[in-house]
Amino acid sequence: MDKPLNQLIDWLNADAPYRELFQRAFHGNATSERIGQSLAAYQRTIVSNRTPFDLYLDGNRDALSSSAQNGMRLFFGRARCSVCHQGSRLTDNRFHNIGTADPALPEDTGRRAVTQKDSDHGRFRTPQLREIGRTAPYMHNGKFKTLQQVVEHYNFGGVTDEANDHRDEQLEVLYLSEDEVTDLVTFLSAGLTSQTASPEEGTSSFNARPQAPAACGSRLSTGKPAPAGGR
């Protein structure tokens, strides 16, 4: 899907299964507006409001294991994650350079591509972290396959290539022990990921009907079912 929009429209209309799906949903071909509506309808099916971390904050002290609780304390404390990952969605919605751009790819410039400002080189928007256990690989380019690799990257202060002049000043070497790295990974994978839905639910599985996890009415969405088709 990583294509200019006009090419994507042609590509979708040339593909028989996609053509049929657009016919079924919209009684017509793919258009930029319909692609936007489809993506929005899909996004409304993704609801995350019952993670063990939410249950813990609601007063259920058993919802997080002691390792996950320790990871939570690190996340909001010494590991400094909540400097950028904050609020109910665990993002500040700002752009930061955490050393993830690929120096071998000149076009991998992040925010700079939009603003043309040198100081925005390699900055990307802080992503939200809900259901993070389900969405590997990580970062804009998928450079980390596991949460362990992500945490190790931060443990070393986000330094991957010496040529990175714009790394965020908030990043520093964390000196987390191996056990602390494990605890932080446990908080991310077990604490921020709900146990109610199977990993397949709510993913882009082509033939599955979009399905919201049982408990809707979330902080993230209205919980209204996505439109079943048409406009």
From 63, 45, 46, 62, select the one nearest 54 (Cα to Cα). Answer: 63
Question: Which residues face 125 on adjacent strands?
Answer: 95
CB of 45 to ligand HEC, least distance (A): 18
Using CB under 6 A, which of 69, 124, 183, 197 touches ligand HEC?
124
Number of shown-chain residues binding ligand HEC (CB under 6 A): 27
**Which residues, 2 to 61, sit near ligand HEC by CB under 6 A?**
none
Stretch that binds ligand HEC, among 8-16, 123-131, 199-207, 216-224 (CB under 6 A): 123-131
From 229, 208, 177, 196, select the one nearest 49 (Cα to Cα). Answer: 196
CB of 120 to ligand HEC, least distance (A): 12
Cα 197 from Cα 194, distance rounded (Å): 7
The answer to whether residue 81 forms part of the interface with ligand HEC (CB under 6 A) is: yes
One character per residue 135-164, x = contact with ligand HEC (rule: CB under 6 A): x--xxx------x--xx--x----------
| DSSP codes joined into one string, 114-133 | HH--GGGTTBEEPPP-TTGG
Using CB under 6 A, which of 46, 63, 68, 79 touches ligand HEC?
79
142-152 core/surface letters (b: 16 or more CB in 10 A; e: else): eebeebeebbe
Inter-residue contact 80 to 98 (CB < 8 Å): no
Residues that bind ligand HEC (CB under 6 A): 79-81, 83-85, 96, 98, 100, 124, 126-127, 129, 132, 135, 138-140, 147, 150-151, 154, 168, 170-171, 184, 188
